[in-house]
Amino acid sequence: MRLLAFVASILLAAAPAVAQSLTTLFTFQGRLTDADAPASGLYDIRITPYSAASGGSPIGPPVCADDVPVGEGLFTLQLPTQLLTPGDGALYLAIEVRADAGASTPCGNPSGFTALSPRQAVTPAPSAVFAFAVPSSSPARPGAIRFNASTSTFEGYTGLGWAPFQMGAILAPANTQIYSVPGVYSFVVPAGVTWLNADVWGAGGGGGGFAGGGTTATGCPLPNPHKGGGGGGGGGAYARVGIPVTPGETLTIFVGQGGLGGPAGSNGQPGGPSRIRRGATDLVECNGGGQGFAGTIHSPIGIPTLSGLWGGGAALPTIHGSITGNSLQAGVNGGVGFSAACSGFPANFTAAQGGIGGAGRVGGAPLPVVTLGGGGRGGTPINALPADNGQHGMVRLFWN
């Protein structure tokens, strides 16, 4: 019987033995002919690793597969990854085949096998994929790589022992697009890009104005009315997400405007939402922070009195089920405003001040750190300081 074989592909894939568990197998696929016709039936196949295309000595024991079904010339095997750990990087698989000889001649019996030529080279790309799946029990050959599950580190064998790899900082993406001015924009996905990452900030709410009417005059005689400070605006929400995309498609980008601070006696304005939309579907939306409320008029007493209420921080971002949320953060509440206190002479009128704005959220590595979406400070009656506006939102896209 004349046997010829052409190995069509060598595929590396972790083969699950149980759900969510990886084994140390890889998939080998090939095509076998018998007398120039596609083979069919059961065959025994022996595979031995070598470091050279011809000659030399085996660098590992042979692996034998009994009763391999072959249909229309095609077959598939699952082999142990130990076959893919050459000492110097070069790896060739010597393949021997015979028609199944039955139970009386098990696969371990070398008689009757025909050696196929040439040996099949395992290319660097599959070897690199294999490195991902190497267990902690990887053979200790110089240059071997393993993942040490007990320390969660990759290690390389130096010939003397296993040395952990030193992991560097995450590399910055090759491409970035920033939308920092409030408005609506169109983004066309570049050719060849199938995945986008995005940082999205909702805008901060404006602070509430200090109380209208009343007085800021010093002196404690009651019931003199005094202005109270406005509440601080709430911070906007923040999200870092991953979005599967199609080259050439258009996404719509919305950047929220920071809420305006309220004039004396008036509330601030809420911050606008920022979002990324595909067609009519919002993929991610980060709402803006709530408005700070205007201060109220009080008659001073012995301690500072609450005045303008704070603006609430935005709720958690909402994301569509088709994208990945890597970091989702709600906005921070603003602070309350206060009125003056009358705790003796002179009175403590400096206590009359606006509440702080809710802090902005931070988006960072591997891109430059940016803090945005903070709420505005409430108006302060001392020196008639007006309320601050909230910060604008922003959308930052990045990809490789």
The residues spanned by each domain of the chain are 3-133, 171-400
Average pLDDT over residues 257-274: 97
Q: Which helix (H) or strand (E) segment is 206 a member of? A: none
In this predicted structure, what is the pLDDT of residue 138?
57
Assigned CATH class of 3-133? mainly beta
Amino acid at 208: G
- Judge whether residue 45 has pLDDT over 70: yes
What is the β-pairing status of strands 361-363 and 25-34?
unpaired
Instruction: Say how far apart CA 231 and CA 173 lie, in whole Å.
Output: 40
Instruction: Tell me which of 135-139, 159-163, 391-395 is least confident.
Output: 135-139
Residue for token digits 């065959």? 43
Give the CA dihedral 345, 350, 355, 356, nearest 10 degrees: -140
In this predicted structure, what is the pLDDT of residue 286?
98
Amino acid at 330: A
- Average predicted confidence (pLDDT) for the chain: 83
Whether the bond between 142 and the residue before it is cis, its omega within 30 degrees of 0, is no
- Judge whether residue 219 has pLDDT over 80: no
- Entry pTM: 0.61
Residue for token digits 């020196």? 383
Instruction: Say how far apart CA 377 and CA 371 lie, in whole Å.
Output: 16
Average pLDDT over residues 373-389: 93
CB 200 within 8 A of CB 253: no
Instruction: Say how far apart CA 177 and CA 198 lie, in whole Å.
Output: 9
- Look at residues 314, 326, 295, 303 and name the one whose alpha carbon lies nearest to residue 359: 314
CA 21 to each of CA 151, 309, 334: distance values in angstroms, whole numbers, following the listed order? 19, 53, 47
Beta bridge partners of 255: 183
Q: Identify the residue with better confidence: 236 or 150.
A: 236
CA 81 to each of CA 23, 107, 150, 197, 228: distance values in angstroms, whole numbers, following the listed order? 9, 20, 21, 34, 74
